[in-house]
Amino acid sequence: VVSDCGQYMAAEHCYHSHNVMVPLVLFLAAALALWVYFQTHRPKNFPPGPPPIPVLGNLLELHLENPIADLERLAKRYGNVYSILLGTRRAVVINGVGALKEALVNKSADFSDRREDLFVRRAAHPKAHAPGVVLSPYSPGWKEHRRFILATLRNFGLGKQSMEQRILAETHRVVKLLQQSDGKPVDPQSIFHHTSSNIICQILFAKQFDSEDEFMKFFTSFFRETSKIINGPWGMLYDSIPSVRYLPLPFNKAFHLFKMSHERYLEKFIENKKTRVPGKPRHFIDAYLDELEKKKRGNTESLLSEDQLRAVLLDLHFAGTDTTANTVLSGLLYLMKYPHVQELCQQEIDRVLQDKPEVSLEDRVQMPYVQAAIHEIQRTANTVPLSVFHCTTRDTDLLGYSIPKDERIIPNLSSVLNEKGQWKRPDEFYPDNFLNENGEFVKPEAFMPFSTGPRVCLGEGLARMELFIILVTLLRRFRFIWPEDAGEPDLTPVFGVTQTPKPYRLRAQIRSSLK
Angle in degrees, CA 484, 486, 490, rounded to 5: 120
pLDDT band at 228 (very low <50, low <70, confident <90, very high): confident
| The amino acid at 410 | I
Residues 6+ apart with CB under 8 A from 348: 367, 368, 369, 370
Per the CB < 8 A criterion, the answer to whether 394 and 110 are in contact is yes
pLDDT in tens, 192-206: 999 999 999 999 999
Q: What is the pLDDT of residue 166?
A: 94
Cα separation, 246 vs 389, in Å, equals: 23
Q: How many CB atoms lie within 10 A of CB 148?
A: 17
Residues 6+ apart with CB under 8 A from 47: 78, 79, 81, 82, 83, 92, 398, 401, 403
Give the predicted TM-score (pTM) of the model.
0.90
Is the per-residue pLDDT at 99 higher than 60?
A: yes
Structural domain boundaries in the chain: 30-514
**What values do phi and psi take at 495, rounded to 5?**
-75, 145
- What size, in residues, is the chain? 515
Is the per-residue pLDDT at 129 higher than 80?
A: yes
Burial profile 384-419: b = 16 or more Cβ within 10 angstroms, e = fewer: bbbbbbbbbbeebebeebebeeebbbbbbbbbbbbb
Cα separation, 362 vs 350, in Å, equals: 15
More confident residue, 232 or 255: 255
- Residues in the annotated binding site for heme: 457
* CA diameter of the chain: 119
Residues 6+ apart with CB under 8 A from 271: none
83: which DSSP letter? E
Is the per-residue pLDDT at 37 higher than 60?
A: no
Which CATH class name applies to 30-514? Answer: mainly alpha
Q: What is the pLDDT of residue 13?
A: 58
Cα separation, 50 vs 338, in Å, equals: 39
Per the CB < 8 A criterion, the answer to whether 362 and 159 are in contact is no
Residues 6+ apart with CB under 8 A from 196: 320, 321, 322, 324, 325, 328, 466
Per the CB < 8 A criterion, the answer to whether 463 and 327 are in contact is yes
Per the CB < 8 A criterion, the answer to whether 432 and 422 are in contact is no
Q: What is the pLDDT of residue 254?
A: 94
Question: Does residue 199 sit in helix, strand or coil?
Answer: helix
Per the CB < 8 A criterion, the answer to whether 116 and 130 are in contact is no
Is the per-residue pLDDT at 16 higher than 90?
A: no
Pick from 172, 174, 206: nearest CA to 193: 174
Q: What is the mean pLDDT of residues 433-455?
A: 96
List of long-range contacts for 390-395, beta carbons under 8 Å, 24+ apart: 390/103, 390/104, 390/111, 390/112, 390/113, 390/114, 390/455, 391/113, 391/114, 391/115, 392/110, 392/111, 392/113, 393/109, 393/110, 393/111, 393/112, 393/113, 393/138, 394/110
To the nearest whole number, what is the mean pLDDT of the chain?
90
Q: What is the pLDDT of residue 300?
A: 75
List of long-range contacts for 338-345, beta carbons under 8 Å, 24+ apart: 338/429, 341/373, 341/429, 341/431, 342/475, 342/479, 342/480, 344/369, 344/373, 344/431, 345/369, 345/370, 345/373, 345/475
Per the CB < 8 A criterion, the answer to whether 407 and 49 are in contact is no
More confident residue, 301 or 92: 92
More confident residue, 301 or 107: 107
pLDDT band at 36 (very low <50, low <70, confident <90, very high): low
Is the per-residue pLDDT at 31 higher than 70?
A: no
Angle in degrees, CA 88, 388, 86, rounded to 5: 15
**What values do phi and psi take at 479, rounded to 5?**
-105, 125
Per the CB < 8 A criterion, the answer to whether 418 and 427 are in contact is yes
- Residues in the annotated binding site: 457
Is the per-residue pLDDT at 3 higher than 80?
A: no
Q: What is the pLDDT of residue 2?
A: 47
pLDDT in tens, 386-430: 999 999 999 999 999 999 999 999 999 999 999 999 999 999 999
